[in-house]
Amino acid sequence: MDYPVWQLWGINGGLLVAIISVLHVFVAQFAVGGGFLLVHAATRAERAGSAEATFWVKRFTRFFLLLSMVFGGVSGVGIWVIISLISPAATSLLVHRFVYAWATEWVFFLGEIVALLVYYYGFGKMRFEDHRNVGLLYGLFAYLSLFMINGIITFMLTPGAWMQTQGFWDGFFNPTFWPSLLFRSALCAMLSGLFGLVWASLIDDERARELMTGVTRLWALVPIPFMAVGAWWYIGALPAPQLEMVLRRTADIRPFLEAFPWVLAALMVGGLAFFTRLPSGARVPVAALLLVLGLCQVGTFEWVRETGRRPWIVHGVIWSNGITPEAGAKSDLEGMLKVARWSGVKQVAEANMHEAGRELWQVQCANCHGLGAPMIDILPRIANRPLTGVEALITGQGALQGYMPPFVGTPAERRALATYLVNERDARRH
């Protein structure tokens, strides 16, 4: 409530965050598992004395360089940029509370980049053992950056004892840290295996292809039971409110929740049945399909996690619209327009209901809701309601609609918001 709100047209902030994050997570997780996979593949190629397989590993490494180092690295900064634009107060909290965790993650990221560059340019130039050790360092650094970011992401979902102590380690090693780490580690390994499987299926030389297919298939398959254990542990570690949010209170995530084990099973069966039975021509499309299923896993998992966190950005600390319960309580007493620094209207009056409502919409709703725009469009939700009905809907926020933060502000402000919404809806009808 301290910051200006970026007024977007045609898309809302939440959707922008989601798009950039999902793209980053796909690529970054694949890169995290990929470090060790590269070393494994290179070692197998060396032992088998297959120059073609070694050449393939080098080309696969270049793919990492171009996709994971650059796209992954820049989109990672992109997440930072977009969350600071959409949720500056929450970003500020995460930065200030975990500055050394971020800084440590940066060190690991730097190590990861240097190791990847040395590994790529060192192919065929270094002693095999040295080259392998550099590859292992790459894998280790990549994994450690996951370790660090995992602490911050899980803190947002389950701050745990931090709520009482405000201590760094209580926040970092929070109730879902370890199950999430297990799940994500397995996910990263599986994704790198699936990416590798597609690439390995394209190798011309039959011996090299079979060799690399064997390696990547192993990486795609072995993590799957660990993912299942991780998911089960994760669910078990969720405190009651988050679990309830995931399981019961949101109807809109049910399809994802129910699809999750099926997608997992499909992956497992597909992976198992894979190479012993398929003709070579069918391998690439099947591998690609498996990869898409794997990405669906990522999408589902992230979606469920985000939903479990509703209606908070940091559970119990900052609501998803960036307002803290303290600022909310103050707004209920004094009026949100007065409390919000960047509101152009400071008080509701008969003459400024629409303008005041627009300010309230921007501060409290626009982060998650579209207004005739994609993602949780508000217009269908108020389509047939009179002004009092829209007001009733707003009153129910945070109680009847527990996945939403409560409306904060005075009754006059609630009426102003309802007026604005009804006006906007009616203007679009004419």
Partner 1 sequence: MEPASLIPLADAMPGPAWWFEILLLLTFVLHLLLMNTVLGGTVIVAVHALRKPASEQGPVRDFATRLPTALALAINLGVPPLLFVQVLYGNFFYTSSVIMALWWLGIVGLVMLAYYGLYIFAINHDELGTRRIAVIVLALLLLVATSFVFSNNMTLMLQPERWLAWFERRDGALLNLGDPTLIPRWLHMLVGSIAIGGLALSLFHVRRASWGAPDAAEGIETGLRWFSHATYAQIALGIWFLMALPRDLMLRFMGGDTLATAAFILGLIGTALALLAARARSVALAVGAAVGTVTVMAVMRASLREGYLAPWAQPQPVNFVETSPLVLFLASAVCGVAAIIWMLRLMRSSRKGA
In the bound complex, what is the minimum distance in angstroms from residue 141's beta carbon to partner 1?
Answer: 8
Q: Which of 38, 45, 57, 82 binds partner 1 (CB under 8 A)?
A: 82
Question: How many residues of this chain bind partner 1 (CB under 8 A)?
Answer: 66
Is the peptide bond prior to 311 cis by the omega test (within 30 degrees of 0)? yes
Convert residues 13-42 into a mask of x (bound to partner 1 by CB under 8 A) and - (unbound): ---x---x----------------------
Cα 205 to chain centroid distance, Å, stands at: 38
- 87/158 with CB nearer partner 1: 87
- Residue 22's nearest CA partner among 288, 298, 256 is 298
Q: Which of 22, 48, 63, 80 binds partner 1 (CB under 8 A)?
A: 80
- CB under 8 A: which stretch of 130-138, 157-165, 243-251, 370-378 binds partner 1? 130-138
CB 37 within 8 A of CB 196: yes
Two tokens, residue 333: 């007493």
In the bound complex, what is the minimum distance in angstroms from residue 206's beta carbon to partner 1?
Answer: 29
Q: Which of 11, 19, 74, 273 binds partner 1 (CB under 8 A)?
A: 74
Cα 245 to chain centroid distance, Å, stands at: 18
Q: Which of 121, 128, 232, 262 binds partner 1 (CB under 8 A)?
A: 121
70 binds partner 1 (CB under 8 A): yes
What is the C-alpha to C-alpha distance for residues 260 and 238, in angstroms, rounded to an integer? Answer: 17
Phi, psi (deg, nearest 5) at residue 319? -70, 165
Q: Which of residues 306-345 bind partner 1 (CB under 8 A)?
A: 341-342, 344
Q: Which of 22, 78, 373, 412 binds partner 1 (CB under 8 A)?
A: 78
Burial 300-327 (b: 16+ CB within 10 A, else e): bbbbbbbbbbbbbbbbebbbbbbbbeeb
352 binds partner 1 (CB under 8 A): no
**Helix, strand, coil abundance in the chain, percent, nearest 5:** 75, 0, 20
- CB under 8 A: which stretch of 87-95, 194-202, 230-238, 394-402 binds partner 1? 87-95
- 13/308 with CB nearer partner 1: 13
130 binds partner 1 (CB under 8 A): yes
Two tokens, residue 336: 């949100």
Q: Which of 41, 53, 101, 264 binds partner 1 (CB under 8 A)?
A: 101
Q: Which of 36, 108, 162, 420 binds partner 1 (CB under 8 A)?
A: 108
- Residue 325's nearest CA partner among 398, 374, 271 is 398
Two tokens, residue 80: 């930072």
In order, the DSSP letters of 309-375 are HTTEEETTTEETTS--HHHHHHHHHH-HHHHSTT-S--S--GGGHHHHHHHHHHHHTTTT-BSSSSS
Residue numbers of the site for partner 1 (CB under 8 A)? 2-9, 16, 20, 66, 69-71, 73-75, 77-78, 80-82, 84-85, 88-89, 91-93, 95-104, 106-111, 113-115, 117-118, 121-122, 125-127, 130, 134, 137, 141, 167-169, 341-342, 344, 362
